[in-house]
Structure 1
């Protein structure tokens, strides 16, 4: 059980406090602590974005295909009918065309199987990458020393960060930032007394939170508009400059 109840806002937002007594203590503390209440709201907003990061729309026309096919699906197996005794019939030797059809079907089955395996492997790799990214973000949000800050960009939209000194990482989530032309991109910077360090670009799908660079306690996070592909040094004034409390 931690002695610093203020550090439990992140784990509480993720429902990651297993100790029942610790959870009750934090909930009692939360009722009278506006700082923790604010942090909890920010953590929950970022957690909601995490859910959007792994959510995917169903394939187009999936509903139509299901409804069209359902009428051809057998609901119950057929009941075998009793057959009268018949005189055994000698087996007929299969013709060559039957063997040719069987060989063709076997080849087609192998091709379909190979294609399906390739698709399954690519899908599994995509899922593993998504899970790894989610786990890294969740690790920062659930850190006992996680701290957050939110800023509003001049052109509209907000940027929220959650930083953890113990994890050495900062999670960045944005909402409502104006759409840039294809020749421009939003670039993240970690800025301290030694100057700015690039922390990568915001993805095109900005509903997805990202883990940016290596976080230091003296860092601030800035967001600038740069040429597509990014810059070595900032070429514009930061839209937001955030430092978690």
Structure 2
């Protein structure tokens, strides 16, 4: 049985961790380095560090902040936001990131996935898919959830795998920040369509939600923010509960 991973997400803008609902109404949560250090000590399996306004503001991800964060944590760190080129990927990996998350840039330049995978290895390339239900399917959205590409999420997921992506970070925009549970239908649809790990994101409100997404879908990891940031769920207790439910976890 593969070990299920627990991944706190640090959404960062202007050097601070923030959290909102459905990608809007952002509130300041704290300093990213302090929060990353805390999660490292808590036993998180990985961290995802997303500069959520780098793309929409058309600026680079904050390399100095990545360097300081990477110096404090000893678990895999994925960095995304504003990465538009192979050179950007190289800078992030040199700054201490273990993986690169591509979203808008991958849609504009799908060859970035292929070239990045060939240069740095598929294990370094995470493609983030922000999906929202539109009628009877899910569309891929970009620019922090502000723009509908019209692209079918399942079709895009299959394409990124073919291009060499090693992992998919799948966020349900419908569920994001609602704390009403993960979008099980979306997660299972993507998992059934691809043969690489899928990280479930968007909607986690409790330990039970994480247990449920692992029990009812084939996702490899569960990402959450609010429940960890506000101290509602402690990672050690969460992992104990997962183990009680028969799941393999790293402790």
TM-score category by the smaller chain? Answer: under 0.3
Structure having the higher strand fraction is 2
Report the TM-score when normalising by structure 2.
Answer: 0.25
Report the TM-score when normalising by structure 1.
Answer: 0.26
